[in-house]
Structure 1
């Protein structure tokens, strides 16, 4: 797919974060990965400053699996909302498997969860063995469990990062939303993904468009039409490597977002 991605809106973004001095703002980010389905010692993100601006997401040697049942899987994640029902219930954001039940009840926090708009995320992907960097927009589900679709802006496996190009996955995931159809595509993008580069998405009634470095890589006439939370995740999937391999990392340099109208 080809074509220029739309220019950013002329107005100031609603969210604009460069993570100055590695600071994770608690008015914008929940520094945990889907904390309702696990416990705080397993959901908390590990982060460090990445110079004067940017935050480094870390996977460290002593980091616990997100849930024992999901091992081996470790993750450091930033998300812009959180929602769950009471302990033992099946209500909560991104219930991606039917057996999930709330282990830690969390208060609802919709720090930024637009139903349509635009996001630009500048990152440096991980090249560490077993890691994946991803950016998702996921239905918060506080209104209905049906509102659970996802825009996968990108998923980049470390093994897909090459010299001058990267293989990424992007598109739509229906999960339990019967109004959407899953449409995921593998794309090869001519960028140095281990260096800073920008992914963009616009979504709304006209559909969903995803781009990388100003070029369109995915488009669809479909789009979720309910509040979505932004998630930026670094995963380590599989057994731990040797101690010398840690910490594993990826960098989030900047995030800008606009709620519709653009």
Structure 2
């Protein structure tokens, strides 16, 4: 069997291109950087409020056992703590809102248009340790279109890791790629790549988003290339999901992971 060629390195971005650097000095997050709610237009700001701690320069995003399901109507018992960098919707009763993840969504609480960080090409990276989730949870950083027009809706998944895909030694399958949703110019190109390092320790997950491609890397090494690219501004979605199991199975709350940095660099 021929040897698998080593993954090529990704050059580091120039420091002067940095335009987003998450403030993790604590004890609260900068609300000029993050909106601490998950798609509140399909539920409410109260029900979608994130839970987290920021201590010693590390953000721990978590879901607690007593946290309400974010949208019983549309997503059953799923619990989420999410930070996003923009939000918008149409009026209550309309179907206009970001990330139409299923058919029949109706705006339940209208959201004013807020755009805190909405890059259009460039690099987005996170340093994270997936150290506190079990088989009933998932951690992720992804990007979605603002959807000021319905077709501007694609997703770039920087990384997603399900607890069920973490081995006893900490190696794991890492999801990355693009999803079209309502963007006719994008075709689904998503896969799980194996990381033979301990994901419970900090690693750098990044995308270099270019006009003609999206390049995915882990710790500076290319792991996937997608030869297509959303052509409009996108926002960040940083979250931990919990999927409560049916009794008698139980989940190990809190479900959480540690974020050491989130940065965005504009394109050269």
Quickly say closer, same or farther: Cα 1:185–1:129, change in 2 above 3 A. Answer: closer
Which range moved further: 164-173 or 72-81?
164-173
Shift of 1:93: 1.0
Task: Give CA deviations for 1:172-219 in whole Å, capped at 9, x if unaligned.
Answer: 101111100000111001221111111011112131001011111110
Q: 1:101 aligns to what?
A: 106
Give unpaired runs (5+ residues) of structure 1. none
Instruction: Tell me, in whole angstroms, the C-alpha distance in 1 between the residues paired with 2:27 and 2:202.
Output: 16
Aligned-partner SS, 1:87 = coil
The one of 57, 76, 86 aligned to 1:53: 57
The one of 59, 73, 77 aligned to 2:78: 73
Shift of 1:18: 4.4
With structure 1 as the length reference, what TM-score do the two structures score?
0.93
Question: Is 1:25 the counterpart of 2:25 in the alignment?
Answer: no
Q: How does 1:119-134 map to 2 (within 5 A)?
A: 119-125=124-130, 126-134=132-140
Instruction: Tell me, in whole angstroms, the C-alpha distance in 1 between the residues paired with 2:171 and 2:253.
Output: 25
Shift of 1:41: 2.9
Q: 1:172 aligns to what?
A: 178
Instruction: Tell me, in whole angstroms, the C-alpha distance in 1 between the residues paired with 2:102 and 2:255.
Output: 27
Are 2:17 and 2:266, in contact at CA under 8 Å, matched by a contact in 1? no
Instruction: Tell me, in whole angstroms, the C-alpha distance in 2 between the residues paired with 1:21 and 1:39.
Output: 26
Give unpaired runs (5+ residues) of structure 2. 1-5
Question: Is 1:41 the counterpart of 2:46 in the alignment?
Answer: yes
Which range moved further: 156-165 or 224-233?
156-165
Are 1:22 and 1:56, in contact at CA under 8 Å, matched by a contact in 2? no
Instruction: Tell me, in whole angstroms, the C-alpha distance in 2 between the residues paired with 1:164 and 1:63.
Output: 27
Q: 1:234 aligns to what?
A: 240
Are 1:33 and 1:45, in contact at CA under 8 Å, matched by a contact in 2? yes
Which range moved further: 62-71 or 72-81?
62-71
Task: Give CA deviations for 1:110-133 in whole Å, capped at 9, x if unaligned.
Answer: 101112111110111143231100
Instruction: Tell me, in whole angstroms, the C-alpha distance in 1 between the residues paired with 2:109 and 2:215.
Output: 35
Q: How does 1:105-184 map to 2 (within 5 A)?
A: 105-125=110-130, 126-142=132-148, 144-162=149-167, 163-184=169-190
Q: How does 1:181-220 map to 2 (within 5 A)?
A: 181-220=187-226
Shift of 1:20: 1.1
Shift of 1:42: 2.0
Q: 1:256 aligns to what?
A: 263
Instruction: Tell me, in whole angstroms, the C-alpha distance in 2 between the residues paired with 1:171 and 1:242.
Output: 31
Aligned-partner SS, 1:36 = helix
Q: CA RMSD of the aligned region, Å?
A: 1.6
Are 2:240 and 2:255, in contact at CA under 8 Å, matched by a contact in 1? no
